[in-house]
Amino acid sequence: MNEKKFTNFWAHRISRWSKVSYKAGLAAIAAVLWMALPVKSDAQQSMEDDALFIRKIYDQTLTDCSAYDWLAFLCKKIGGRLAGSPQASAAVEYTGQMLDTLGLDAVWKQPCTVPHWVRGDKERVRVVSSFKLGSFDLRTTTLGNSVPTPEGGLVAEVVEVQSLDEVDRLGEEGVSGKIVFFNRPMNPQEINTFSAYGGAVDQRGSGPSRAAKYGAVGALVRSMTTEIDDHPHTGSLGYSPDFPKIPAMAVSTRDAEKLSDLLADGPVRVFMETNCNSFDPKPSFNVIGEIKGSEHPEQIIVIGGHLDSWETGEGAHDDGAGCVQSMAVLQTLMRLGYKPKRTIRCVLFMNEENGLAGGRAYGAAANEKGEFHMAAIESDRGGFTPRGFTFDADESVFAEKFKKVYTWQPLLEPYGLSLSKGGSGADIGPLKSQKGLLIGFYPDSQRYFDYHHTETDRLEAVNKRELELGAASMTALVYLLDKYGLDR
């Protein structure tokens, strides 16, 4: 059989066996041939097996997968799930029950202690005097972890800045007694929207304390999105212990532009009220399910997302999607009858949004028990069409581990996946010291910040096929990690 005949033979065979198109069969074969060229025929056979099994994973996931139904329950029957809330407890119970149905080797809840912040029922920012428009409300929402305004709210003049540095430059004279309005937009020229987010989010995270340093009484922050629309986007702030805590709220991008226009015409005074509150920390849980490894049970591969979400929306893309995709990885492997060599563990982390208590508790327990996490994949960038994975590890081991993983690229490329260096996920970050491989699932980023931390992050924003393709991509990578391992 010459090379061409061989290719045709296998393309047809793959196509018949796994019901893929002849073209997809050819692509798989191309991958196999490409990889097989310099190696011996055992390895060739092994790569053919891989191409076929990965095709099976996609076939199974695209036709028979519960991810979307689980997400629908999380979004519509439970809703937003901030740590410490009744909804977060419901999500722990529900996902635990669903994992119980999969026939895994073990399902359990891992305790952690979470902050308990509640938005309250008053959220109002009103321009009370301006040169052109007089009085009107701005579309706003309180930032997570914020302190409340004094009872009855506060009124102050607004000063607009583009950066934390500008607050420093204005100093006490420019800021004291005022509300500082951080209005630097996310840069629309960034192709990856997460880079644009990274370039603007210091205003939300650190802006309020910077303003407080110079005597500001409140902070307003432009919502973190490149869209110009009417939805205020919440998210956590972090107070510096060195300065007074002042209340802080997010403003929709359209109203941020409007406020900025008004400020160009003259002084603007604003009324600001929020009765959010922090209560005593509460007990909560990570939810965990696993298939024990048959050969190296002590080597753990984690897949996970975070179960908590902001309550302004339904936590669909952030991060219900990542949770149900991680659960679906186990479901698919079980349904295909796959017996892993290594332990494959799905972890649904609690409290990523405003504390990271779940991720920290998981990391601490893992270290305490001397567990080794060979690899951990987090899906926390939305349930959009997969584009690949980004890889991170301790510097001393990164090159060697990534080199091995990169040899799998031809097997994943037919599914639109590319592998590159980059961040992983907040919840799995504490595992980095174990010197395993940390992996971030990387879906298309263009729409993510349209929905991020706002009321539009609902089930309707998630496409079933895209969600499933993500789950299948994660399963394929888990399969390769399990089969070939990564040297410790």
Q: How far, in Å, CA of 68 to CA of 334, rounded?
A: 18
Q: How far is the CB of 458 from its own copies (least distance, A)?
A: 14
Which is closer to its own copies, CB of 69 or CB of 100?
Answer: 69
Q: Least distance from C-beta 406 to its own copies, angstroms? A: 16
Pick the closer one to its own copies by CB: 360 or 464.
464
Q: Give the C-alpha distances (Å, rounded to integers) separating 248 from 150, 332, 459.
A: 12, 44, 28
Torsion angle in degrees (nearest 10) through CA of 126, 130, 134, 137: -20
For its own copies, the closer of residues 188 and 238 by Cβ is: 188
Indicate the residue among 19 and 122 with the shorter CB distance to its own copies.
Answer: 19
Distance CA 361, CA 281 (A): 14
> Cβ closer to its own copies: 20 or 143?
20
What is the nearest approach in angstroms of its own copies to the Cβ of residue 21? 5
Distant-in-sequence, close-in-space partners of 33: CB < 8 Å, separation ≥ 6: 3, 7
CB closer to its own copies, 16 vs 23: 23
Residue 442, classed as helix, strand or coil, is strand
Whether 423 and 456 have beta carbons less than 8 Å apart is answered as no
Closest distance of CB 484 from its own copies, Å:
23
In the complex, the smallest distance separating the C-beta of residue 191 from its own copies, rounded to whole angstroms, is 6
Structure-block tokens of residue 102: 């999969």
Pairing relation of β-strands 277-291 and 342-349?
antiparallel
Q: Which helix (H) or strand (E) holds 247?
A: none
Q: Which is nearer to its own copies, 313 or 430 (CB)?
A: 313
User: Cβ of residue 468: shortest distance to its own copies, in angstroms?
Assistant: 9
The single residue listed with the structure tokens 């205020």 is 232
Distance CA 381, CA 389 (A): 11
CB of 399 to its own copies, least distance (A): 16
Q: Min. distance of Cβ 276 from its own copies in angstroms?
A: 32
472 contacts: CB under 8 Å, gap ≥ 6: 57, 58, 60, 61, 62, 332, 415
Q: Which is nearer to its own copies, 22 or 108 (CB)?
A: 22
Q: Which is nearer to its own copies, 86 or 199 (CB)?
A: 199
* Alpha-carbon dihedral sign for residues 64, 67, 71, 74: positive
Count Cα neighbours of 373 within 13 Å in the Cβ-side half-sphere: 31
* Number of CB atoms found within 10 A of residue 150's CB: 11
Q: Least CB distance from residue 445 to its own copies, whole Å?
A: 9
Q: Specify the residue, 19 or 339, whose C-beta has the smaller distance to its own copies.
A: 19
Distance CA 276, CA 280 (A): 14
Give the nearer residue to its own copies in terms of CB position, either 185 or 320: 185
Q: Which residues of 193-231 are buried (b: 16+ CB within 10 A; e: fewer)?
A: bbebbeebbebbbbbbbbbbbbbbbbbbbbbbbbbebeb
Pairing of strands 123-129, 269-274: antiparallel
438 token code pair: 């940390």
- Residue 397 CA neighbour count, 13 Å, CB half: 18
Measured from the CB atom, is 310 or 415 closer to its own copies?
A: 415
CB 107 → its own copies: shortest distance, Å? 29
CB 199 to its own copies: min, Å: 7
State the Cα–Cα distance between residues 203 and 207, nearest whole angstrom: 4
Contacts with its own copies, residue ranges (CB under 8 A): 19-21, 23-24, 58-59, 62-63, 187-191, 193, 195, 199, 226-227, 385, 387, 414-416, 444, 446-447, 450, 463-466, 469
Cβ 387 to its own copies shortest distance, Å: 7
Report d(CA 117, CA 457) in Å as an integer.
20
Residue 176 exposed, middle or buried by CB count within 10 Å (0-12, 13-18, 19+): middle
